[in-house]
Amino acid sequence: MAVRAKTQQRIRYGRHNMDYVLLAVVLFLVGFGLLMVYSASSYEAGIEYGDSAFYLKKQGFATLLGLVVLFFVSKINYKIWQRFDLVALAASVVLILLLLTPLGVTKNGATRWLDLKIGLTLQPAEVAKVGIIIYLASVIQRLEEHGRNIIRTPKGIAIIMVPPTIVAGLIYIISDNLSSAIIVMGIAVAMLFVAVPDYKWFIALGAAAVAGVVLVVVIATSGDAEGGTFRMARIRAWLDPEAYSTDRAFQTIQALYAIGSGGIWGKGLGQSMQKRNFLPEAQNDMIFSIICEELGLFGAMTVILLFVVLIWSCMVIANKTIDRFGSLLAVGVMAHYAIQVILNIAVVTNSIPNTGITLPFISYGGSAVLFLLAEIGIVLNISKKCK
């Protein structure tokens, strides 16, 4: 009885103990992101729109809206989201399918946004990431309530993995967004790994993935240098960027120039040369290279360290949560951030082929920052109810 009383006391205390370290890191990244969006986009915005703060204003509005969402979501009991697991999944699918309607907005050859007809656009892939986290956390908990062995069967694994596979496939086919499709599948695999820590399955899956990547690379390098699909062309440009420095690898080469010229301490905030019409879309996927150029290795490592603290905080919250659903929600958010940060930095440094993916809280993108902050709101509410 004494042990039970102490446990209940710890839980009651934890309900008022929000993770302020996580909140502080997120607020710093958000503020730093706005600063870097202005720095990276001011030159281009001044030329194209006559307003150097054009991108900053749009990102600032989305960020302010996201902070309001974070505040309200952090006040909502996270267990409520379990009631909307099927709604979250269905909404994700419906929004992606709406891209095929006149509401779909095409930019740079890809239809990835919905026109909300109120002067705002929405990227369904960002909604899908949150929806998949909520759906999988709920489904895994429900399966475990019927016995832990069920989730280890082929049927249990199919129940978990088929819906995110369908969502990822729709994202890739309809919006031609490979990076978001990879993130959705990565989130699903990470949550499945937590639920079924059976290493032999994941070792086999990892081996199959590596074999598939090697096969794709071999096919890309053995084919006609000018033929093949767009994806194959990107792989060839990744393997030999100098050979494609004027077209397919132009953005990558310019990003590497920015990284190399920054040195240890950087050129100084706002002093980037690559953002002056040399590096395309500097405020989006390649903003990390501008950080390296202006703030140097020191600034880049500081940003990476902050993301490590963020991801670590999510992991600690997942370990201390009093119920399985909350733990899985935190794991899903942690996986989302970890995968997206790793992929973005890997693309910028040419460690993997170029695929459009933003750096959380820092890259320009209203839908992304809005739903990323909503996820943090969920995790902050979970942290209030930790042991």
Which residue type is seen at 213?
Answer: V
Selection from 219, 225, 223 nearest residue 243 by Cα: 225
Tally of CB atoms within 10 A around 38? 21
Residue 86, CA atoms < 13 Å, CB-side half-sphere: 2
Taking residues 101-115, report their average pLDDT: 85
| Mean pLDDT for the chain overall | 87
Distance of CA 354 to CAs 201, 274, 289, 358, Å? 29, 18, 14, 12
pTM: 0.90
pLDDT at site 24? 95
Structure token pair of residue 347: 């693309």
Beta bridge partners of 110: 107
123, 112 Cβ separation under 8 angstroms: yes
pLDDT at site 259? 93
**CA–CA dist 142, 229 (Å, integer):** 42
Flag whether pLDDT at 10 surpasses 80.
Answer: no
Higher pLDDT, 351 or 295: 295
**CA–CA dist 131, 4 (Å, integer):** 35
**CA–CA dist 226, 220 (Å, integer):** 10
pLDDT at site 168? 94
Flag whether pLDDT at 2 surpasses 60.
Answer: no
Q: Where are the beta strands (DSSP E) in the chain?
A: 104-107, 110-115, 121-122
Selection from 274, 243, 280, 277 nearest residue 259 by Cα: 274
Q: For the chain, what is the radius of gyration of the CA atoms?
A: 22
pLDDT tens digits along 249-307: 888 899 999 999 989 999 999 899 998 888 888 898 999 999 999 999 999 999 999 99
pLDDT at site 187? 96
Flag whether pLDDT at 152 surpasses 90.
Answer: no
Flag whether pLDDT at 235 surpasses 70.
Answer: yes
All residues at 6 or more sequence positions from 124 whose CB lies less than 8 Å from its CB, including other chains: 92, 95, 96, 98, 99, 112, 114, 171, 175
Taking residues 192-218, report their average pLDDT: 76
Rounded to 10 deg, the angle between the 366-383 and 20-49 helix axes is 170
Q: Specify the 3-state DSSP secondary structure of 69.
A: helix
Name the band, by pLDDT with cuts 50, 70 and 90, for residue 208. Answer: confident
Q: Which secondary-structure segment (H or E) carries 156? A: helix 154-175
Beta bridge partners of 113: 105
pLDDT at site 172? 92
Higher pLDDT, 212 or 262: 262
Domain ranges of the chain: 13-383
Higher pLDDT, 151 or 124: 124
386, 320 Cβ separation under 8 angstroms: yes
